[in-house]
Structure 1
Amino acid sequence: MRRSEFDRAVAEEFGGGAAFVLTDVSLPGCGGRTAARALADGDAPREVWLALCAEMDVPGSRRYGVGRLDPRSR
């Protein structure tokens, strides 16, 4: 997962609350850091996304493959 995909996935999943989720929710899967801190510390966006999903009870069906753009039609 690229950082841009992470950002899209967070925006799609959490909408207007995305900023709060990134900066205020402590993630046990990231050593108790917030998603924003974990990313700033160099953690992989995919690992942070999965930790965020686990903490926020995002269903498995919405955890994988999100954030990707639809392929361009030829």
Structure 2
Amino acid sequence: MRITVFRKLMSNEFGEVRADMLARDHVFSSLGGRTVDQALDAGLEPKEIWRAVCEAFEVPPERR
């Protein structure tokens, strides 16, 4: 998954403003105590990050 696709999924699911806020501020234990932005900067795969976001926010399977 490309980062642009990941960002689009985030915006579609949470809205642009909330997606940006979550990516910047929400720390995920499943990402090693990182935010989405930190995880991307650290080189984690966007698909792995998307899975973590979906689990944390209980995104329905059909939108994962």
TM-score (normalizing by structure 1): 0.79
Q: Unpaired segments of 5 or more residues in structure 1? A: 64-74
Structure 1 residues 22-41: aligned runs within 5 Å: 22-41=23-42
Q: What percentage of residue pairs aligned between the two structures are identical?
A: 38
**RMSD of equivalent CA atoms:** 0.9
1:24, 1:57 → 2: CA distance? 18
1:33, 1:55 → 2: CA distance? 13
User: 1:25, CA displacement in angstroms?
Assistant: 1.1
1:30, 1:61 → 2: CA distance? 23
Query: What number of residue pairs does the alignment pair up?
Result: 63
Q: Unpaired segments of 5 or more residues in structure 2? A: none
As a proportion of its length, which structure holds more strand? 1
As a proportion of its length, which structure holds more helix? 2
Following TM superposition, the consecutive aligned residue runs of length 4 or more in structure 1 with deviations greater than 4 angstroms are: none
> With CA pairs under 8 Å and 6+ residues apart, which has the higher RCO, 1 or 2?
1
User: 1:20, CA displacement in angstroms?
Assistant: 1.0
Question: Who is 1:7 aligned against?
Answer: 7
TM-score (normalizing by structure 2): 0.90
Question: Who is 2:18 aligned against?
Answer: 17
Question: Who is 1:54 aligned against?
Answer: 55
User: 1:19, CA displacement in angstroms?
Assistant: 0.9
The structure with the larger Rg is 1
